[in-house]
Amino acid sequence: VSSYLVITNVAKKQNIRNLISSAFAFGIDVVLIVGQPKFELETHAPPGIVELMASGSVGFSIVRLANLGDCVHFLNARKATLYGIEIVDGASSIENINFFSAEPPLQTYH
Residues 11 and 50 in one domain: yes
Residues 73 and 85 in one domain: no
Write down the pLDDT at residue 9.
86
b/e map 25-49, b = 16+ CB within 10 Å: eeebebbbbbbbeebeeeebbbeeb
For 2, counting Cβ atoms within 10 Å of its Cβ (0-12 exposed, 13-18 middle, 19+ buried), the class is exposed
Query: What's the domain range around 96?
Result: 81-110
Kindly report, residue by residue over 49-91, the tens digit of the pLDDT: 888 888 877 778 899 999 989 998 999 999 887 777 777 777 7
Q: What is the secondary structure of 31-43 as a DSSP string?
A: EEEES-TT--HHH
Residues 72 and 107 in one domain: no
d(CA 26, CA 8): 19
Which carries the bigger pLDDT value, residue 107 or residue 7? 7
Put simply, whether the predicted model's pTM sits higher than 0.85 gets the answer: no
Write down the pLDDT at residue 102.
60
Dihedral sign computed on CA atoms, order 2, 21, 59, 10: positive
Terminal-to-terminal C-alpha distance of the chain = 25
Residues 70 and 87 in one domain: no
Write down the pLDDT at residue 47.
81
Count of domains observed in the chain? 2
d(CA 110, CA 107): 10
